[in-house]
Chains A and B, each alone.
Chain A
């Protein structure tokens, strides 16, 4: 496929690896913010080809993983309403809540449907006028505009039985929260390609300025990731902290103005809770007043008992990049992809699942 195959060229990869080895002198820690990067780094064996002075740290960029237990509990509560159809991306199904999961609720008879796109949820709503269809709106800036577009569509089509539980989370505030948390040492960020397609690379300028940390926006193929690492190495060797785009075919400095305008039209920023990171100011979205008719929290009682975390699970620390899965006592023992204890083992993009699959 065009725009993919040319970024998998072995010879070019080898050349870039040689360059990295030749240029990299300092001990550096690079965080790949995005879970899709984590998986690509493992799948392509990128850690194994880097010099030992470069450490790659996996970050919080797995939307399922950062969804808080209380948010899962609310989704489960919604699924128990007799006239509700829950529509969700598949990854969320197995994430454990305090007592149950969406998958268990489905086995017990709840009408929960996995969809590929929020457009499918709109179709389900128009085909089932006697039901209330709730979409679980997880995801970062990549996904949020698709949900915003769906809300506009529902409004213009006069669909009254469609609701969204907006759980979106925003990446730049999380990066700042990680840095200001103080327990993590990071020298450079590899920034998520598709989040940045939407928000534009300029969104990271405050991070580079406030914390003097370089940010390079990377694509997802092996050549992309190696190039991005090389660009970070060059900046760090020279003591620079700039925003650069490696993934120029899909990312601009300004971002996708249409998509941002649609998000702005539909959502207001709000504080939201992240697993592992706690409440981060202005890191989430809620529907604007004009679109509240679609807000699940306005139409349903979402009060729940205080959420309970699994006592042994270290997902919170893993999402902050302060421990690796091997340091979790449950890893590979009680916790594995067949029986995940925490969300980082559920999602294929979760750090624990990636370590489990690719690291012997």
Chain B
């Protein structure tokens, strides 16, 4: 049930520069071609960020740099070892 899927934030709606006490900052996100409304009140997302979306909420901003490293470091390491 802790499934979360990546999506790209394309538009941030009401409450941008949000007030801490408020839930419910809405955004539009692109799930590989399908657009859906999500809530971004748990993260400081900007338009263009990839976020992990769980039950309609962005729970984390994906770290692009780390994403690259995970794959590339492993590729390199495995090249060297075999």
Closest to B68 in A: A249
Smallest beta-carbon distance B73→chain A, Å: 10
Complex: how many Å from CA A288 to CA B75?
A: 48
Give every chain B residue within 8 A of A340 (Cβ-Cβ): none
Task: Assess whether B1 is in contact with A250, with CB atoms less than 8 Å apart.
Answer: no
Interchain CB contact (< 8 A) of A192 among B2, B6, B39, B52: B2
Chain A 1-31: CB-based contact to B (< 8 A → 1; otherwise 0)? 1111011000010011011000000000000
Q: A12–B23 contact, CB under 8 A?
A: no
Q: Scan B5-47; emit 1 where CB is below 8 A from any A CB, else 0.
A: 1101000000000001111100000011000000101111000
The one of A15, A61, A117, A248 that contacts B2, using a Cβ cutoff of 8 Å: A61
> Does A2 lie within 8 Å of B39, measured CB to CB?
no
Q: Within 8 Å of chain B (Cβ to Cβ): is A91?
A: yes
Listed residue (B1, B4, B56) with the most chain A CB atoms within 10 angstroms of its CB? B1
Choose among B59, B67, B74 the residue that contacts A194 (Cβ–Cβ < 8 A). Answer: B59
> Hey, which chain A residues are within 8 Å of B62, CB to CB?
3, 249-250
- In the assembled complex, the CB of B41 is this many whole angstroms from the nearest CB of chain A, namely 5
Question: Which residues of A237-279 have CB atoms within 8 Å of chain B's CB atoms?
Answer: 246, 248-252, 256, 258-259, 261-262
Q: Which residues of the partner chain A approach B2 to less than 8 Å between Cβ atoms?
A: 34-36, 61, 63, 139-140, 142-143, 192-195
**Known contacts A142-B59, A197-B59, A249-B62: A16-B74 contact under CB 8 Å:** yes
How many of chain A's residues have a CB under 8 angstroms from any CB in B? 64
A220 to B56, CA, bound (A): 19
What is the CA–CA distance of A157 and B24 in the complex, to the nearest angstrom?
10
State the CA gap A186–B3 with chains docked (Å). 25
User: Considering the chains assembled together, what is the distance between the CA atoms of A3 and B4 in angstroms?
Assistant: 12
Q: Which residues of B contact A256 (CB under 8 A)?
A: 42-43, 59-60
B24-A248 in contact (CB<8A)? no
- Most chain A CB within 10 A, of B21, B50, B52, is at B52
Q: Determine chain A's interface SS by DSSP, over half rule.
A: helix
Q: List residues of chain B with CB within 8 A of the CB of A316.
A: none
- Whether the pair B23, A250 counts as a contact (CB closer than 8 A) is no
Determine the chain A residues whose CB is within 8 A of the CB of B44 once the complex forms.
258
Is A149 at the interface (CB under 8 A from chain B)? yes
**Pairwise interchain contact B39-A19, C-beta atoms closer than 8 A:** no
Are B63 and A249 neighbours in the complex by a CB distance under 8 Å?
A: yes
The answer to whether residues A119 and B67 also contact, given A139-B1, A142-B54, A146-B54 and a CB cut-off of 8 A, is no
A150 to B, closest residue via Cβ: B23
A152 CB–B CB distance under 8 Å: yes
| Docked pose: A120 CA to B39 CA in angstroms | 11
Smallest distance from the beta carbon of B34 to chain A beta carbons, Å?
A: 10
Chain B residues, CB < 8 A from A138: 1
- Residues of B within 8 Å of A7, CB to CB, are 71
**B1 near A62: Cβ-Cβ < 8 Å:** yes
Q: A residues within 8 A CB of B81?
A: 19
* Chain B residues near A89 (CB-CB < 8 A): 1, 55
By beta carbon, the residue of chain A nearest B53 is A117
A142 — which chain B residues lie within 8 A by C-beta? 1-2, 4, 54, 59
List of A residues within 8 angstroms of B63 by Cβ:
248-250, 252
30 A-B pairs within 8 Å (CB atoms) are namely: A1-B5, A2-B6, A2-B50, A6-B71, A34-B2, A35-B1, A61-B2, A117-B39, A117-B57, A119-B57, A120-B56, A139-B1, A139-B55, A140-B2, A146-B55, A146-B57, A157-B24, A194-B2, A194-B3, A194-B60, A197-B4, A223-B71, A223-B74, A248-B67, A249-B67, A256-B42, A258-B41, A259-B43, A262-B23, A262-B42
Residues of chain A at the chain B interface (Cβ within 8 Å) = 1-4, 6-7, 12, 15-16, 18-19, 34-36, 61-64, 89, 91, 116-120, 122, 138-140, 142-143, 145-146, 148-154, 156-157, 192-195, 197-198, 220, 223, 227, 246, 248-252, 256, 258-259, 261-262, 347, 349
Given contacts A117-B39, A149-B57, A261-B20, 9 further A-B contacts (CB under 8 A): A12-B71, A36-B2, A61-B2, A139-B1, A143-B2, A156-B23, A195-B2, A248-B70, A249-B66
